[in-house]
Structure 1
Amino acid sequence: MDVFYAYTYTTAGWLSLQSLALITVPHAITTLLLAETRPASEIEIYFARCLGFSLLTITVLTAMLTGSIPLTSTVSEPVTGEDSDPKAPYAVPTLAVTSGFQAVSAVYAYTWYLASGKTVFAVAMAGYVAGAAIGLWCVLFASSRGKISRRTGADKRTTGFPFGNAEAAKKHAGKRL
């Protein structure tokens, strides 16, 4: 499976898990996070369910905009060409936004963990850090196939700055002989 789609499904699963908990059992969330046990107020239940619906919406948008869920019912001709990418046109921007969301959420969960010491914040932080790390990796390395030179086999978009590629220079010098 492509790392990009693994990130998409992991993000969708993580956000769905959180949203379902917030929508179905907001009372349990309140019990986990408060020091004293008391029933959740109506406003806490309202905000928990609104956040749950928001996370579910982000999940669906992430799956649709990255091309994991096809938006057309017809099979189109495969796109050929050097710059064609099989992913949806909004896949990379969606990837960047969701990775940023997960990074900010990880920092926020970390601050709450430091302030309260509750394990639930550490678990949330770990999940968000994992998602943000995979998303960052995808933004940096898996967002395009690159431009591979037929002559040298090297990626045309790279340069030797600030370090030279001695191994590629040896291979290239060997072909001239």
Structure 2
Amino acid sequence: MDVFHIYSLASAGYLAIQAVPLLFVPKIIVSILTSEPRRITGAETYLARSHALLLLAFAILNLLLSGIIPLANSWDDSAGDGLAKNPYSFPTLVVTTTYHALTAFYIYTQLTPGWSFALGAGLMFSSLLFCVGMWVIVFGSEKGRLSKTTGADKRTAGFPFANSESAKEIKKELKEKEKEREKSARESSKSSSSDKEKDKDKDRSKRRSVARALSSRA
């Protein structure tokens, strides 16, 4: 199970946790949220339960469109895993991440009068799910662009911190290694050529000495 599926399950679970009390005990939830004790109207109960059903439907759609609950003959099993397998996964990811971002922002605006456990927990979970969703959008929505020559991900970089695994650093290392190989090859070729010249000089000196010996005998 990859990060995208974990994020989808966490989002669906968070929505279901919000929906259950609104669906079964809406009067208690509304009475907790009111500042003064009063009688809960039928419209408030209806809106609370409607909101709960909407959250449950949103959670189920998230599970269906993200591919966690497999649908028969909906897509090819050989297409891949995660976001590459289901064409509806990425739009679902964007929608749920936007929902968590808006929810976290709205809860943050409601914290100005005072802090409460319910609003604080909602802000924390919504912000956490938003961060995970953004991470999946940025890093998990496509495969890394691997270089054919170096094998490194082209999206990595060494700025602002040094990164020895970045594509540029690996290219520099490969270039330096190639330069060292060329230098060693040149040095070896020079040494071999110098050895050949020395051998030629030795042969010439031998021939000269032989010629001198023959001339002296004659």
TM-score, scaled to structure 2: 0.70
The structure with the larger Rg is 2
Structure 1 stretches of 4+ with a deviation exceeding 6 A read 159-164
Q: Does 1:36 align with 2:61?
A: no
Contact 1:8 1:62 (C-alpha < 8 Å) held by counterparts: yes
Contact 1:27 1:39 (C-alpha < 8 Å) held by counterparts: no
Q: Structure 1's 132 and 19: CA in aligned 2 closer, same or farther, altered over 3 A?
A: same
Give the alignment of 1:127-138 within 5 angstroms: 127-138=125-136
Comparing both structures, which one devotes a greater share of its residues to helix? Answer: 2
- Return 5+ residue gaps in structure 2 as ranges: 161-165, 182-218
Aligned residue identity for 1:60:
I
Partner of 1:171: 173
Q: Secondary structure at the match of 2:107?
A: helix
- The farther-off stretch of 99-108 and 120-129 is 120-129
- Percent identity of paired positions between Structure 1 and Structure 2: 32
Q: Secondary structure at the match of 2:172?
A: helix
In the alignment, the residues of structure 2 paired with residue 127 and residue 77 of structure 1 have an alpha-carbon distance, to the nearest angstrom, of 33
Residue 127 of structure 1 deviates from its aligned partner by 1.1
RCO comparison, higher one (Cα < 8 Å, 6+):
1
Residue 42 of structure 1 deviates from its aligned partner by 0.7
Q: Secondary structure at the match of 1:99?
A: helix
* Aligned residue pairs, count: 173
Aligned residue identity for 2:47:
F
Residue 121 of structure 1 deviates from its aligned partner by 1.1
- Deviations along 1:70-107, one digit per CA (max 9) or x if unpaired, are 11169955237xxx964311111110110000000011
Q: What RMSD over aligned residues (CA atoms) do the two structures have, in Å?
A: 2.7
TM-score, scaled to structure 1: 0.85
In the alignment, the residues of structure 2 paired with residue 161 and residue 116 of structure 1 have an alpha-carbon distance, to the nearest angstrom, of 44
Give the alignment of 1:52-91 within 5 angstroms: 52-72=52-72, 78-79=78-79, 86-91=84-89
